[in-house]
Amino acid sequence: MFFDIETKGLGLLEQIYIENLKGRRIILNEEIDSQIFDTVAMQIKKFNKEDEGKSIEDRQPIELHINSVGGSVYDGFALVSAILSSKTPVHGYCDGYVMSVGFAIYAACHKRFAGRFANFMYHEVSTMSFGKNTEIEEVTKENRRLQKMYDELITERTKLKQSKLNTVKKNKKDWFFGVDEALENGLVHEVI
């Protein structure tokens, strides 16, 4: 069990991460990549395994503290899946910023809290593609599929409408907003 891990000899950041895990607090303070599955998604799964046999009401929520500019959409959706499938409630906390696929991860949390100076950013899925026209067309087709998944997650879990998301994409902008607008749009449940 990870609670028995000796933290001596570890770097300060590793010590902080492990100490927070003891209180069911997971820190996501980096760009989203394949390691997120190991350090965050698998920890959510581990807490769910520990909670087997407990009613949902008797499970101590998992706190996911997010401060991320986003990153890999595929890796982000792996974490979204882990959150959505978690029977143990996952509470998302944003004190600084959640952007791009970090925005989607935050939206997936069962209950969402934000600090007064929290910041949010939604934008269209993006990739870099090179190659022949047929290869670029395949990447474009895949981007459309990912965008549909992303937008459906946001519109299902917030009060945001597809028309607003379409306007952001049409204007080719990154949509930055603060906690008041996030609260109004149902992205944030409670300001702390």
Q: Looking at this protein, which amino acid is placed at residue 8? A: K
Q: Angle at Cα 95 formed by Cα 94 and Cα 101, nearest 5°? A: 40
Instruction: Indicate the pTM of the whole model.
Output: 0.90
Q: Which of these ranges, 35-39, 115-119, 158-162, has the smallest mean pLDDT?
A: 35-39
Is the pLDDT higher at 35 or at 11? 35
pLDDT at 78: 96
**25 vs 2: CA distance, rounded Å:** 13
At 8, the pLDDT band (50, 70, 90 cuts) reads low
pLDDT at 3: 43
DSSP bridge pairs for 151: none
**108 vs 115: CA distance, rounded Å:** 18
Share of the chain above pLDDT 70, in %: 94
Question: What are the backbone angles phi and psi of residue 32, rounded to the nearest 5°?
Answer: -80, 120
The domain made up of 12-48+59-191 is a member of CATH 3.90.226.10? yes
1 pLDDT above the threshold of 80: no
Residue-wise pLDDT for 56-93, tens only, equals 999 999 999 999 999 999 999 999 999 999 999 999 99
Residue-wise pLDDT for 119-162, tens only, equals 999 999 987 667 788 888 888 899 999 999 999 999 999 999 99
Of 121, 118, 137, the C-alpha closest to 180 is 118
